[in-house]
Amino acid sequence: MAAIKIEGLGKVYPGDIRAVQDINLDIADGEFIVLVGPSGCGKSTLLRMVAGLETITEGELSIGNKVVNQLEPAERDIAMVFQNYALYPHMTVYKNLAYGLKNRGFSQQDIDERVQNTAKMLEINPFLDRKPRALSGGQRQRVAMGRALVREPAAFLLDEPLSNLDAKLRVQMRVEIKQLQRRLKTTSLYVTHDQLEAMTLGDRLVVLNQGRIEQVGSPMDVYHRPETLFVAEFIGSPSMNIVRASTFANKDNQEAVKQLPEGTDVIGVRPDTVVFEKPAEPHLSFDCEVKLFEPAGAESHLYLHLLPDRQAFTMRVEENTAVAEGGKIMVYAPLSVLHPFNEASGRRTD
């Protein structure tokens, strides 16, 4: 168990290619941090730098008050779960779990005790004598988790551990990982590109884009108050509607925009804050054509085109909403729930 401190961390590849730059992050002991971002944003590189699998070219990394920049992966007291699990195919599950302990010189009795306990906790004890290829995807995932848990490391690093599972299993394992982490209180760094995983798992999210941190915060903070235009579009499903103020044709809207903070030229509207009835408070109104009604059980979505410039616009509606596809309607969004941004800086203006 340990806190992780990342100061000015950067990775420069030959040819001045900056995969990751200027990362500052304080991870408290026992915290569950999720690194999230689109592919190529540097999240995996950052994780691998913490693991010691990539060299650190800039900045300083400390695990438990000790600078570990120059330490080998094994000396950093971390455990990693790989996307493809990386189980040793020629060893039984038992030996897979015991390998790391054996290398660290644990006694045979100690190894056996730990392996049995971990296997019981993850319910993989019936498979201890099997080789990985005789296991299902979910079981392999558990073994991979087990190999990380069995050593009781200072920190867990998880690199998209659920992306090879089918949808149902993924949800199940997500819940289990969360419960496990709560119980063990081990500092964890979890990489994913799936924002639902990110929202549900993390104590805090770190949203990365092009090798830089866009925003750090609790999932709800990031959702309700995205600091940058990138975060606003990336977090939330369906994603936030982004409308340029310059496209507003009607007078009321132009007046309303003036009430928003100075410099606002782009407005973000979450699909679930759009309403049919005209609100009493100050608001924006949108003249739309209905393109498609998409009922999806718990929540249904209405895909609209803003008039006159036919920009796509999404809103969340009730299942029994009566709208005719192709018809014209008026929808509203109160100013209080809007996200005002400046397009040039990409930052929030309020």
Q: Which residues bind other proteins (CB under 8 A)?
A: 51-53, 72-74, 78-80, 82-84, 86, 88-90, 99-100, 103-104, 147
Q: Please choose, from the candidates 323, 327, 337, the residue with its C-alpha nearest in 3D space to the C-alpha of residue 274.
A: 337
State the nearest-atom distance from the C-beta of 45 to other proteins, in Å.
14
Q: Tell me how far CA of residue 195 lies from CA of 37, 243, 320, in angstroms.
A: 8, 22, 28
Residue among 131 and 305 whose Cβ is closer to other proteins:
131
**Could you tell me the sign of the dihedral formed by the alpha carbons of 81, 84, 88, 91, in that order?**
positive
CB 332 within 8 A of CB 287: no
Q: Closest approach of Cβ 143 to other proteins, in Å? A: 12
Residue 52 or 226 with smaller CB distance to other proteins: 52
Closer CB to other proteins, 32 or 85, in the complex? 85
Find out whether 78 and 29 touch, Cβ atoms under 8 Å.
no
Residue among 131 and 347 whose Cβ is closer to other proteins: 131
Nearer Cβ to other proteins (67/74) = 74
Least distance in Å: CB of 326 to other proteins? Answer: 51
Shortest Å, Cβ 84 to other proteins: 6
Q: How many residues in the chain?
A: 350
Contact 35, 206 (CB under 8 A): yes
Tokens 């909403």 belong to: 321
Beta strands per DSSP E along 210-342 = 212-217, 241-244, 266-269, 283-294, 300-306, 311-317, 328-334, 339-341
Report, in Å, the least distance between residue 103 CB and other proteins: 4
CB of 71 to other proteins, least distance (A): 12
* 88 versus 123: smaller Cβ distance to other proteins: 88
Say which DSSP state 279 is in: P
